[in-house]
Amino acid sequence: MLNEDEKEKLATDALKRDQLTELCTSTMLPLSLLNAAQNKPMLVELKNGETFNGHLVNCDNFMNITLREVYQTNPDGDRFWKLKECYIRGSTIKYLRVPDTLLDTVKEEQNRAREANRGSRGTGGPGPRGGRGAPIRGRGARGTPVRGGRGRGGRGA
């Protein structure tokens, strides 16, 4: 039989597992999250173990990032440096940690955008460039002038 502490721990573990599953199955792209994290604090850990704590200034499609007001920590965690600004190459990044509230904000924005796209779909008619409808009057299918018609022969115009 489980006591109250064990029951509470199991419930907490189940909640964490559900949240992790939701995060893993969501369609959030890392770059959309990074773009939303502009001017927000974040922690960056590199593959070599160094960590950088600072505010995101800029990021690009290769996940290269620029941070300002940065505290750098060596892999052992015993030395620290304060940097005004630093640039980190995306291929050296192991993971990024952003505020939890930012995750929720980005998810809500993506859901709103998805709903807006669903509502703007047409009824299946020709798209914005036109379809294969009738050619412009006096012109053929390729925009060339029409000569003659489907008459009984004779001389064309």
- Domain residue spans of the chain: 29-104
Find where tokens 């160094």 sit.
Answer: 50
Q: What is the pLDDT of residue 2?
A: 65
What tens-digit pLDDT sequence spans the chain (157 residues)? Answer: 667 776 676 666 665 566 555 555 555 667 888 888 899 999 999 999 999 999 999 999 999 999 999 999 999 999 999 999 999 999 999 989 988 888 888 888 888 888 888 766 555 555 566 556 655 565 666 666 666 666 666 565 5
pTM above the 0.85 mark? no
In this structure, whether the domain defined by 29-104 belongs to CATH 2.30.30.100 is answered with yes
> If you count DSSP H runs as helices and E runs as strands, how many of each does the chain have, helices first?
3, 5
